[in-house]
Amino acid sequence: MRALPTQPFEAADLDGVPRSFVFFRITLPMLMPYVITAALFRMLDAIQQFDIIYAMTQGGPGDRLMVFQVQAYLDFFQNTNVGRSAALLMILWAITFGLSNLSSSIGCAARAGPRAR
């Protein structure tokens, strides 16, 4: 918050703009690149939870925690089903690739600001 320029906030204060308008129209658009970067890091961190899930529950009671990584691991090492394991990991890669590109394009749009009409 300290890195944001103070001029837009001072101008909004002088014009008597309501705080909610300042937040949604000035503060949030300026913070959007940082929010998107943090969301991308959290998303990638959530995808990398294989070790915790497998070490603690090995897929959970029943199939409750059977995520792509655990299912691929079990298919490969316990069921020796290499094709299904590779397919699951390719799906996971495609999801990760798509979400990171989507968040990257949203971040670029947020940095560019509103379009001029």
Cβ pair 85, 72 in contact under 8 A = yes
Tell me, what's the pLDDT at 117?
A: 39
Tell me, what's the pLDDT at 107?
A: 63
Tell me, what's the pLDDT at 90?
A: 92
Cβ pair 36, 106 in contact under 8 A = yes
**Residue 46, amino acid:** A
> Is the per-residue pLDDT at 28 higher than 80?
yes
Cβ pair 52, 32 in contact under 8 A = no
Tens of pLDDT, residues 36-93: 888 888 888 877 777 777 788 877 787 777 777 888 888 898 888 899 999 988 998 8
Q: How confident is the model at residue 111 (pLDDT cuts 50, 70, 90)?
A: low
Cβ pair 56, 67 in contact under 8 A = no
For residue 113, give the DSSP letter. Answer: -
Tell me, what's the pLDDT at 113?
A: 60
Tell me, what's the pLDDT at 87?
A: 92
> Is the per-residue pLDDT at 116 higher than 60?
no
d(CA 112, CA 40): 19
d(CA 111, CA 32): 8
Q: Which of 30, 35, 23 is nearest to 111 (CA)?
A: 30
